[in-house]
Amino acid sequence: MTDSDIKLFFDVYFNNFITSISWDEQIHAPAAKEEWIRCLKNCGRSRYQLCIEDDLLFHSFFTHLKEDKSTLSNSQYDLVLSYCRKLYYSQYNEPSLQLRFAKELISHYEANKDVESLIFLYTCAAYSALQLSRTGDHKMGLRSSDYYKKVVALRDKIDTFQVPESRDYIFVAYDNLIRVEPFLHNLPIEEAYQFFLELIEPRKQEKFCRYDTVNPRIPKIVNKTINNFLSCENDLLLFDIEFPDSLRLHLSELTLQHYTQVLKHKGSIYDCPPALVFQYYRLMAEEEALSWDEAYSVVDDYYTRKKEMIPDETELDYLSFYVDLPILLMHFLSHTTLSEAEKDRRNLTYRSMVIHFLSTRHYRLHTYSQYDGMRMACFHPIVLDTFHHPVEKTNFILDLIVSSHLATLTHSVMVSYLAEALLKYIFDDKPELLICPALGSTVSEIQKNRTHIIDFAVQGSMLHDIGKNGIVPIINTQHRRLTDYEFDLIRMHPETGAKDLASVPDFACYADIAHGHHRTYDGTGGYPDDFDILHSPCRPVIDLVHICDCLDAATDYLSRNYHNAKDFDTVLSELADGRGTQYNPNIIDLILDHPDLQKELASLIGPNRENIYYDVYRTFANKQK
């Protein structure tokens, strides 16, 4: 492999990536229906060609990299490394690809004992694995922590580094091991505390402080790490982590002392770190040194003023500020003596802040972090407790998660339309197909509950893919073929969605629909393997959503550029072939026996698809404003 081969690979890859994501801007731009549909079709064709080109490109590059590894020169490894740096510092949301490159290079630089190159590669690999762990992959989280530990293990070589960024990486690793990894369940909080003590100790040594002027990020990172960890009791409310009482009490004492010192040094509460201020006043209220009304008044005023100062905060944790802190404000507010009407008004303001932030793309925030924030905010009991009715909670989740990704939203709407169309015929012709513990035990009970059952199936259809929220960046990867690992992540979405829905009593009834919509009717195929569809209390609805899901996916000619859409008759024939094994035979027979139903379904996935997509697009576009 020549230098030109390496340059060609990366240059074409970067160009194709930019071309692919530029289509999103065009698709989301205001347009008349005909123009927008034309844009959508052109996008599909373009991405299909990009995918073919990148498929050949990636196969050739990685084949040569594997076969020619022993013959590559040091300068060629350095060339690949330079592109790896570009990928790391860019806005390309490709952590699985970054991790692959880092792993390919690490063995070479370990053999050469090139510490500065290694410290970057460990950092790159750690950060990539950290973002992937936000999808729910615990093994990737453990890998992330291990790579960051490799970085901090090199800290004593800091005075040998020639590249300033290499020194930054040491403290970035500490920051993630102390402030991030524990709350993603990648590291025990006790181990994070040991790294916290380990960070404080070297900062007392001149060796680790002499570079603060040359590396101005270092003291900022260290201060952020210390302030946030001493405020980590806030995270007990936000994340389900095990926190020993002894450590909790110790950190509470340190927090009170540290806040007093910081306030004295800064001179104003508005110059103190946000998480530290919130933690201090929460402790004061819990210990009854202040009333909750007084504590809330202070933090609400602080937050309002602090928002105006954001542009000056270069090391601000944006996700924490715009998501975690508004949720904590809801917590403070819930303990006050304000009227319920006033609480409702203020909670609406806080929820709107969260929705606005999470619905907007931020160049400082990694996409995986943003969608992880969506998932946390949507299903957090503090947030959901601010609603009075289940319908409000459902609309909140649909608005924030399901409606955050246009392709998933259009698919969910299509599945709900198809399910509703099928249900009308089931109720009129074979209502007994719906008998199950969740819906009713007799035909008369089924008919009596008709409106409720239709609503249940439609909502279940809208929520069936909610587990895809954490893997949107992977779903959006349409310029290249997905890796086996990325496909495995996609196959996790039923389990992820079911877990999220089951965590909220009002939505637990939909958990089986999310969990089982990719399982076959006879329970022998599909995924995940451990879901027992045969004994689900809402099995008929799962069967219904499964059929509608497959029907829409197979006939989608607008948003799935990775395959050629099939016509309705072809799919109908496939459904018939799979009756009794893959699909519920009674529902398939119902479709086959009713030509009018076939016409209605064919119309939805054919001529009316563009109308439905455009209506959804307008709703999506209005939400993004």
pLDDT band at 74 (very low <50, low <70, confident <90, very high): very high
Q: What mean pLDDT do residues 103-130 have?
A: 95
What's the mean pLDDT in 259-273? 92
117 within domain boundaries = yes
In a domain, residue 39? The reply is: no
CA dihedral of 159, 164, 170, 173, whole degrees rounded to 10: -170
Whole-number Å distance between alpha carbons of 262 and 260: 6
Residue 217 confidence (pLDDT) above 80: yes
- Does residue 383 register a pLDDT over 90? yes
The larger pLDDT score, comparing residue 207 to residue 600, is at: 600
Mapped onto helix, strand or coil, the DSSP state of residue 431 is: helix
Q: What is the structure's pLDDT at 65?
A: 82
Confidence at residue 35, expressed as pLDDT on a 0 to 100 scale: 93
Angle among Cα 363, 368, 370 to the nearest 5 degrees reads 60
pLDDT at position 260 is 93
| Cβ neighbours of residue 525 closer than 8 Å, sequence gap 6 or more | 519, 581, 582
Confidence of residue 193 (pLDDT cuts 50, 70, 90): very high
**What total of structural domains would you count in the chain?**
2
Residue 476 has pLDDT above 80, yes or no: no
Q: How remote is the C-alpha of 32 from its chain's centroid?
A: 31
Question: In terms of DSSP H, where are the helices of 288-403?
Answer: 292-307, 318-319, 325-334, 340-358, 367-379, 381-384, 390-400
> Of 49-53, 72-76, 401-405, which range is least confident?
401-405
d(CA 187, CA 549): 38
Lowest model confidence (mean pLDDT) among 193-207, 449-463, 542-556, 588-602: 193-207
Share of the chain above pLDDT 70, in %: 96
Are 400 and 463 contacting, i.e. CB atoms less than 8 angstroms apart? no
**Does residue 256 form part of some domain?**
no
Indicate the pTM of the whole model: 0.88
Q: How far is CA 47 from CA 210, 212, 483, 617, in A?
A: 50, 46, 17, 19
pLDDT of 312 above 60:
no
Is residue 238 within 8 A of residue 327, CB to CB? The reply is: yes
Please provide residue 491's backbone torsions phi and psi, each rounded to the nearest 5 degrees.
-70, -5
Q: Crossing angle of helices 609-624/595-605, nearest 10°?
A: 40
512 close to 528: Cβ distance less than 8 angstroms: no
CA 500 to chain centre: 12
pLDDT of residue 92: 65
* pLDDT reading at 611 higher than 90: yes
pLDDT of 139? 94
Predicted confidence band of residue 230 (pLDDT cuts 50, 70, 90): confident
Tally of CB atoms within 10 A around 508: 12
CB 559 within 8 Å of CB 47: no
Domain for residue 475, yes or no?
A: yes
Q: Among 189, 215, 230, which residue terminates a domain?
A: 230
In this structure, which amino acid lies at residue 313? E
Q: Is the pLDDT of residue 202 over 80?
A: no
Q: What is the CATH number of the domain that holds 542?
A: 1.10.3210.10
Determine how many CB atoms are found less than 10 A away from the CB of residue 185: 17
User: Which pLDDT belongs to residue 455?
Assistant: 95
What are the DSSP calls for 463-525, one per residue?
HTTGGGGGGHHHHT--SSPPPHHHHHHHTTHHHHHHHHHHTSTTTGGGHHHHHHTTB-TTSSS
434: in domain: yes
Specify the higher pLDDT residue, 496 or 372.
496
Count Cα atoms within 13 angstroms, Cβ side, for 317: 23
Burial (Cβ within 10 Å: 0-12, 13-18, ≥19) of residue 405: buried
Which pair of structure tokens corresponds to residue 274? 């946000």
pLDDT band at 308; cut points 50, 70, 90: confident
Least Cα distance to 422 among 543, 340, 530 occurs for 543
pLDDT at 37: 92
Banded model confidence at residue 368, pLDDT cuts 50, 70, 90: confident
pLDDT of residue 315 exceeding 80: no
**CA–CA separation, 389 vs 393, rounded Å?**
7
**Residue 562's pLDDT band (boundaries 50, 70, 90)?**
low
From CA 37, how far away is CA 57, in angstroms rounded?
Answer: 30
Quick check: is 571 in a domain?
yes
Predicted pLDDT at 334? 96
Of 230, 251, 281, the position where a domain reaches its end is 230
Are 604 and 552 a contacting pair, CB within 8 Å? no
* Angle in degrees, CA 616, 45, 555, rounded to 5: 55
CB 318 within 8 A of CB 362: yes
Please check whether residue 80 lies inside any domain of the structure: yes
Cα separations (Å) of 156 from 9, 89, 112, 159, 554? 37, 25, 19, 8, 57
**Residue 363: pLDDT band with limits 50, 70, 90:** low
Grade residue 91 by pLDDT with cuts at 50, 70 and 90: low
Using left for φ > 0, alpha for ψ between -120 and 50, and beta otherwise, residue 556 falls in beta
- What's the rounded mean pLDDT across residues 482-505? 91
- Other beta carbons within 10 angstroms of residue 274's beta carbon come to 24
Which residue among 185, 203, 230 closes a domain? 230
- Look at residue 281 and tell me whether its pLDDT is greater than 90: yes
pLDDT (tens digit per residue) in 337-350: 999 999 999 999 99
**625: confidence class by pLDDT, cuts 50, 70, 90:** low
Is residue 475 predicted with pLDDT exceeding 90? Answer: no
Q: Across all residues in the chain, what is the average pLDDT?
A: 90
Arithmetic mean of pLDDT, 562-588: 92
pLDDT at 316 over 80: no
Is residue 313 a part of any domain in this protein?
no
Kindly indicate the confidence band of residue 588, based on its pLDDT and cuts at 50, 70 and 90: very high
Rg (CA), the chain: 27
Q: Which domain holds residue 464?
A: 405-624
Stated length of the chain: 625
pLDDT (tens digit per residue) in 400-418: 887 778 888 899 999 999 9
AA identity, residue 509: C
Q: Does residue 435 contact residue 443 with C-beta atoms inside 8 Å?
A: yes
